[in-house]
Amino acid sequence: MDSRAIIDRLFTETAADREELRHLLSDEEEDTQEYLAQKAREVSRRTFGRQVYLRGLIEFSNYCKNDCKYCGIRRSNRNAERYRLTEEEILSCCEIGDKLGFRTFVLQSGEDPYYTDEKMADLIRKIKRRFPKNAVTLSIGEKERESYELYYRAGADRYLLRHETADEEHYRLLHPEEMSLKNRKRCLFDLKEIGYQVGCGIMVGSPYQTMEHILEDLFFMKELEPHMIGIGPFITQKDTPFSEFPDGSVKLTLKLLSILRLLFPKALLPATTALGTLDPMGREKGILAGANVLMPNLSPKDVRKKYALYDNKICTGDEAAECKRCLAARIEKIGYEIAETRGDYGESSHCI
Ligand code: 5AD
Ligand code: FES
């Protein structure tokens, strides 16, 4: 099999079969990686030009009733210093973000029962009333369909819920017994049916992950047809049961970003903070591999270190304004610019 031919077919048909993707994933040649990134960039530029969308991330609570084995804010981690932002604090983050030009707020938290459905719906309504032009993205975990419907009616536009792995057995190795891939998938399909723009995703190099799992992930994504796909390398967190496992690979993450761009030409693909954590130029490399979204942190400075999903997370000592300036400079350096619009799925019909 010839990698270039596979990449060319991905480029023209946005399709590949399992054997082709397997071949591509196992081809470690620099040339292949470069050709793949080049084609992915071409697709990105055709769809989005050189525009990169910013999503302001507000990590509003690190309380979590879940116990995912990879995550630093899992309930069993007694060393995690817990915090919860008040509604006023969250609104003030939005105010700062809006002034900085962010047109999307991502509200992310652990699965924190304090924020009942009513409290969430109230908060969403308040944000939408005050910033009617802005999009609200939720990333608050697995809920009942009725809850998702309630938030949607309150004005939420998008929902991020990484599926983490599409393989049953692998899912069980990463999560506590009470969680299931079946429910995770149910959530994602419910969200889509309700009308959200939906994001799924995985950690690259999570413990026990094999190439076959990644292939399964790609086929699951083809089935779900998400609007967004968030992938970043797994990063060890010292207080978790996975503290002895190695970090995921930046190179494989970049390669997967390019493959995703070719498989999903219009998808919103973030160059994640995790990628920037393992490589000082990780986010830039992500953009050049086909990503088109950055998610700077909008959380108040004093809580940032506490939202420690993994070790050594970057940007925990910077104000939102500094991060915005820093990111703008970084992407200008590689020939891109920050988009002024909301960046909804299918919004841009950039032509060359
Ligand atoms: N390394 C990298 N990513 C992680 N996440 C959670 N823990 C880690 C870790 N140790 C990711 C998960 C989750 C998202 C919010 O953060 O994929 O869905
Ligand atoms: Fe946060 Fe550079 S992006 S400091």
Asked whether residue 347 is domain-assigned, the answer is: no
Rounded distance, CA 182 to CA 171, Å? 10
**pLDDT score for 350:** 54
| 352 occurs within a structural domain | no
**DSSP class per residue in 190-257:** HHHHHT-EEEEEEEET-TT--HHHHHHHHHHHHHH--SEEEEEE----TTSTTTTSPPPPHHHHHHHH
Burial class (CB in 10 A: 0-12, 13-18, 19+), 129: exposed
Mind listing the pLDDT tens digit for each residue in 108-164?
999 999 999 999 999 999 999 999 999 999 999 999 999 999 999 999 999 999 999
Give the CA-trace dihedral at 330, 300, 59, 267, to 10 degrees: -30
* Mean pLDDT (whole number) for 313-339: 94
Decide if 81 is inside a domain. Answer: yes
Q: What is the DSSP string of 279-345?
A: STTHHHHHHHTT--EE--B-S-HHHHTT--SSTT-SSSSS-HHHHHHHHHHHHHHTT-EE--S---T
**Inside any domain, residue 143:** yes
| Residue 349 located in a structural domain | no
Ligand 1, CB cutoff 6 Å, lining residues: 70-71, 162, 164, 203, 232, 234-235, 237, 274, 309-310
Assigned domain for 262 exists? yes
Q: What is the pLDDT of residue 349?
A: 55
Task: Say which DSSP state 166 is in.
Answer: S
CATH number of the domain bearing residue 246: 3.20.20.70
350 lies in some domain: no
Range of the structural domain that residue 88 is part of: 3-342
Q: How many Cα atoms occupy the beta-carbon half-sphere of 217 within 13 Å? A: 27
Q: How many structural domains does the chain have?
A: 1
pTM of the model: 0.97
Mutation test residue for ligand 2: of 297, 314, 324, 338, the one with most atoms within 8 Å of CB: 314
Kindly identify the ligand whose nearest atom is closest to the C-alpha of 309. 1
pLDDT digits (tens, 9 = 90+) for 218-235: 999 999 999 999 999 999
Q: Considering the chain, what percentage of its residues have pLDDT values greater than 90? A: 97
Q: Which residues contact 113 (CB under 8 A, 6 or more apart)?
A: 63, 65
Question: Is there a domain that residue 334 lies in?
Answer: yes
Ligand closest to Cα of 329 equals 2
